[in-house]
Chain A
């Protein structure tokens, strides 16, 4: 409200400034031998040109940055994926056709990475979003210090992937780690979080869950606050208790938001990289001794910058992109279905 008041005060001042400018501009124009201002004059032509061109000028910076650092590289990545590009010898780039892709499809490590990306994605996303909805529901009550609760739930988001993972590595260590120590306290044998298949995947996922649950809870909370209260009133008139209201009013009303967070989390899960890299320590790019948590993102980094095959890394990048496109299409189909029903 205050901002619009402030803004209201400005047109007057800008008009003054504009009229103050006029004589100078007109004089300058006449000095160059153009006719005095009138309809179709230099000034009004400039004005019309300004009206037409300025929108494009305003969006240009974004599209220049996007074009130069995303779109063109994306196409070049496709080009490199069809070439043999070695980090050790960047000058010789030989045409390789679909070799890199064939190489990938016949590589166990690629399928392993694809499967790991999927399982870690599921383990990290499903519990995360379910907890986030529950948390949002609780934050939606009238709370004492509601802002403080929200900020506290968001603090993990302030922690970078690297910082968070370094801490979790220590918490999950085999002996002396706080988590195994706490498990021992309730009579559970220590778990080898670094070496075991499911243990390490769970550990990597827990870092993702820890960082993002609060963030998603806030997104759900925003959507919950936009649900009209009449829906709850009529539900309670029909005799629905709190739980039934949550299931029959809140969840259906959140459907578009849930879909949105699922898409965003899926995109994030497909690119998962920093957590498994740092979780692995010195040989992190392998994703564990048995590649048990090597994701696609990690596999690409390993092939490109550790082994030094940038052509193959480009092919992996494009495979990731194709997977995302497939997910987007599936998502579109589901959305259409939901709208129809």
Chain B
């Protein structure tokens, strides 16, 4: 500890000398400090705790129900992974559920990104009456719990004869307050107002401005919002389990059925949990950096 304290002032001075001309002010707090072995050790513990339940899901999914009931619990993979996955896919309806959820989450993602970009652009760059109040209202809606809508929505969907149909879970999430605010924050900085004005002077209509100026500038944020929305839609729980049942489930509905004894086999339940999470884990593997960046970007609003 004492040695590191002694070396810090020197290091900071050195790095500051080199960096000052390029980046004058906002440097990360501890950025200058190299991590010591203790830091790596603690981070490794955090990483293990983060990953262990997922790895263990795969281990349990590769075993049998009898084996999971014994002590000590299995700590390495068995040979039943694909058999259990097949059972989950067919008997627990995970197969239908994966197709349904892909469709639901895909539709929600496309529409949320599109509508949020439009609304975010309006709030960031266009002047109109009540824009301030409407923006506050948009942010305020994030506080309303979904529980406040489910009773009437359930009754209406029953009236329309829509129970157990996918549009019941798609329609309420076609655009989100979070997405609108996220795009606004991004476009506020990333889209120079002069560009819009230049296009206006050339007589471009609003739709043209959106197509040729806003969308190109917003593209990176649209991609990140798409990823975040997809994760959110894939994992949405409360309304889907009320609106849908095991006949036409989403992944979360199927997992809920598994949890309440639909197939009383722990290994199959774990295989279902693994299957239902796999697409998002793959997305994290491919786009982890962008998702992390998106969450950190969305946070700066604070």
On A, residues with C-beta under 8 Å from B are 3-4, 6-8, 10-11, 13-15, 17-19, 47, 50-52, 54-59, 61-63, 65-66, 69-70, 72-74, 76-77, 80, 85, 90, 135, 137-144, 147, 149-171, 175-178, 181, 210, 214-215, 218-219, 221-230, 232-233, 236, 241-242, 249-250, 256-257, 260, 267, 270-271, 273-274, 277-278, 281-282, 284, 297, 300-301, 304-305, 310, 313-314, 316-318, 320-321, 324, 328
Q: Which residues of A are found within 8 Å of B153, using beta-carbon distances? A: 69, 73
> Are A215 and B295 in contact, with the CB atoms below 8 A?
yes
Q: Which residues of A are found within 8 Å of B244, using beta-carbon distances? A: none
State the 4 A-B residue pairs at the shortest beta-carbon distance, nearest first: A15-B202, A151-B288, A54-B206, A162-B255
Q: Known A232-B29, A233-B12; judge A170-B270 contact (CB<8 A).
A: yes
> Are B29 and A225 in contact, with the CB atoms below 8 A?
yes
Q: Which residues of B are found within 8 Å of A260, using beta-carbon distances? A: 302
Query: Closest CB of chain A to B145's CB: distance in Å?
Result: 5
Interface majority SS (helix, strand, loop, mixed), chain A: helix
> Are A170 and B284 in contact, with the CB atoms below 8 A?
no
Q: Which residues of B are found within 8 Å of A70, using beta-carbon distances? A: 141, 144, 148-149, 172
> Are B172 and A65 in contact, with the CB atoms below 8 A?
yes
> Are A162 and B252 in contact, with the CB atoms below 8 A?
yes
B289 at the interface (CB under 8 A from A): yes
Question: B176-212 CB contact bits vs A (8 Å, 1 = yes)?
Answer: 1100100000000011100100110011111111111
A219: contacting residue among B143, B231, B299, CB under 8 A: B299
Query: Closest CB of chain A to B21's CB: distance in Å?
Result: 14
Q: Which residues of A are found within 8 Å of B209, using beta-carbon distances? A: 14
> Are A171 and B53 in contact, with the CB atoms below 8 A?
yes
Q: Known A317-B147, A320-B148; judge A54-B126 contact (CB<8 A).
A: yes
Q: Known A152-B50, A164-B53; judge A222-B299 contact (CB<8 A).
A: yes
Query: Most chain-A CB neighbours within 10 Å: which of B30, B33, B192?
Result: B30
Chosen A-B contacts, 16 in total, with CB atoms closer than 8 Å, are A10-B212, A47-B203, A55-B126, A73-B149, A73-B151, A73-B153, A74-B149, A77-B152, A80-B151, A142-B35, A163-B57, A176-B69, A210-B50, A219-B302, A224-B28, A297-B145
B256: contacting residue among A66, A69, A154, A162, CB under 8 A: A162
B128: contacting residue among A11, A56, A169, A177, CB under 8 A: A56
Q: Which residues of A are found within 8 Å of B231, using beta-carbon distances? A: 157-158
B234 at the interface (CB under 8 A from A): yes
Q: Which residues of B are found within 8 Å of A230, using beta-carbon distances? A: 25
Q: Which residues of A are found within 8 Å of B191, using beta-carbon distances? A: 4, 7
B17 at the interface (CB under 8 A from A): no
Q: Which residues of B are found within 8 Å of A15, using beta-carbon distances? A: 199, 202-204
B219 at the interface (CB under 8 A from A): yes
B224 at the interface (CB under 8 A from A): no
Q: Which residues of B are found within 8 Å of A18, using beta-carbon distances? A: 202-205, 208
B161 at the interface (CB under 8 A from A): no
Q: Which residues of A are found within 8 Å of B160, using beta-carbon distances? A: none
Question: B234-267 CB contact bits vs A (8 Å, 1 = yes)?
Answer: 1101100010000000011001101111000010
Q: Which residues of A are found within 8 Å of B35, using beta-carbon distances? A: 138, 141-144
> Are A320 and B277 in contact, with the CB atoms below 8 A?
no
Question: B142-183 CB contact bits vs A (8 Å, 1 = yes)?
Answer: 011111111111110010000000000001111111001000
Instruction: Tell me the nearest residue of chain B to A53, going by C-beta.
Output: B206
- Given contact pairs A59-B118, A85-B155, a sample of 17 additional A-B residue pairs in the complex whose CB atoms are under 8 Å apart: A6-B216, A14-B199, A18-B204, A58-B206, A80-B151, A80-B152, A151-B288, A153-B50, A160-B251, A160-B277, A164-B53, A171-B56, A219-B296, A229-B31, A250-B29, A297-B145, A310-B151
